[in-house]
Amino acid sequence: MLLIRCPFCGSRNESEFMYGGPAAVRRPSNAAEVSSREWVEYLAVPSNPLGPALERWWHARGCGSWVTIERNTATHEITESSDGD
């Protein structure tokens, strides 16, 4: 049970959040123009690092904020929290 810091609500249990995927993945802003390869990479080739990883969580049973954290996937240590970017 991770303890995730929400910028509005403070440190809260993981069970209040829903996981929202890796933050490193950004939807191409020009979706109509990017190459098919770039589009498929955005959709289906997630980064899955062992170590620090930026990821998003939604404070579903709280204030509804999308929170971006840096979590070490090997130790679960959370080194950074922010209210998105």
Partner 1 sequence: MATDSHRMESGGRIDRSNPIKFQFNGKNYTGYSGDTLASALLANNVHLTARSFKYHRPRGIISAGCEEPGTLVELLEENSSGNRAITSVRIEDGLKAKSVNCWPSPDFDLGGINQFLADLLPAGFYYKTFMWPNWRLYEPLIRRAAGLAGAPASPPTKVKFESRHAHVDVLVVGAGPAGLLAALHAGRSGSRVMLVDENSEAGGALLNRKVRIGGESSLGWVSSVVDELAAMKNVMHIQSATAWGIREHNLVLVLERRLKEPGELLRNWRVRAARTVVATGSTERSLVFANNDRPGVMLSSAAQSYVNRYAVIPGRKALIFTNNSSAFSVAADLMNAGIEIAAIVDSRREVQDADRSHLNGIEILPGSVVSEAHGHRRVNGATVSERSESGRRRRIDCDLLLHSGGWNPTVNLFSQSRGDLRFDDCLAAFVPVDSGQAVMCAGAANGRMTIPEAIADGAKTGIRAAIESGYPGKSSALPEVDEDSYSVEALWHVEPRSRRNKCFVDFLNDVTVEDIRLALREGYRNVEQVKRYTTGGMGFDQGKTGNINIVGTIAQERGLPLSEFSTTTFRSPYTPVEFGSIGGTRSDTVFLPYRHTPVTSWNTAQGAVMYEAGARWRRPGYFPKPGETMQEAVSRESRAVRAGVGVYDGSPLGKFELKGRDAAKLLDFVYTNFMSDLAPGHGRYGMMLSDDGLIFDDGVVFCLSKSRFLVTTSTANAETVNRHLEFILQIERPEWDIKLTAVTSQWSNATICGPKAREVVRSLETDIDLDTEKFPFMAWRKGRVAGIDARIFRVSFTGELSFEINVASRDFDRLWNKIIEKGSTYGIEPVGSEANHVLRTEKGFLSLGHEVDGTVDPYDLGMGWIMSKKKPDFIGRRSVELRRQGSETRRELVGLLPDDPDKAIPEGAPLTPGGRKTRTEGFVSACVWSVVKERWIALALLERGRERMGQIAHARVQEEIIQAKIVSPCFHDSEGQRLRS
Binding residues (CB under 8 A) for partner 1: these are: 1-3, 14, 18, 20, 27, 30-32, 36, 39-40, 42-43, 56, 58, 60, 64-66, 74-78, 84-85
**CA 53 – CA 69 distance, rounded (Å):** 8
Task: Answer for the pair 70, 29: CB distance below 8 angstroms, yes or no.
Answer: no
Q: Is 63 in the site for Zn ion (CB under 5 A)?
A: yes
Pattern of binders to Zn ion over 21-60, x per CB under 5 A? --------------------------------------x-
For tokens 């440190």, the residue is 11
**CA 25 – CA 63 distance, rounded (Å):** 24
Binding site for Zn ion (CB under 5 A): 6, 8-9, 59, 62-63, 65
